[in-house]
Amino acid sequence: MYSTALKKIAFLPFGLVMDMYRYDVFNGKISMQELNRKWWEYVVKYQGICHAVPRDESDFDPGAKFHTAADVPYMRYFVSFVIQFQFHEALCGVANHSGPLHTCDIDGSKEAGAILGQALSLGSSKPWQEAMRIITGQDQMDAQPLLSYFKPLQDWLQAENRRLKQTVGWVEDASCIEDVTTMPTIPTVSTLSTVPSVSSSQTMFVSPITEPDAGGSTSTDSSASRTTTPPPAATSPSAEVASTSTTNEPVESTTASAGSLSLPLLLHALALYALLFCVRF
């Protein structure tokens, strides 16, 4: 669940910033004289990330993303990451699942498969809201299933943050924005010393840099030399926790039996469908 959250939750502020920036360029809130400065203002505010080196208006950092340079809407990706959990919750209900949402697996449920197949059979012949109504019974996007899915992990992280006395979130350091001037600047002291970076222990969603492995033992990130105590077995959301290999590459646990889809694989499949589902959004 920990590694799944790093893929699903961490993407949301990035996906939001992408189109918030585009929309504000189109509606005139962002002028042509502050294209790069405003980009970093949004990134600092919503993602808590500061540029590693001084930037100015001769740079166009948002253009590094293809969707910005090619004028491709990004909201479809943001929406798909939310509604895939609505689909998952609804299909779990059809499959008569009982228990926490993150433990549900619809593999083998003919009833859930029939509903999903009926929605997929529409293709692009109908608005996406109608296909959504087939699966969920309504046509409104709702983030509550996403929150329900990650509730065990959220509870554990909150407890760990209290135990380790971690500060959650970040300070919107003005220097991150002030460094992006209209004229090229001379590199000075990096602002990363005052603003948490992605690898900091004071991130929005994840404070411990290490996590317990599937066996309940404590794993340590050798590059950071920090150790995190595993959560109690009764509340540990370790069904899908990734262990840290010697190359620091996350490896998802594969606990599903032969012939059965693992939950991460199922969520990825739903994410792909949700993305295709939102092409018209």
Question: CA-to-CA distance for 243 and 220, rounded, in angstroms?
Answer: 10
Residue 76 known to bind ligand: yes
The binding site comprises 76
The binding site for chloride comprises 76
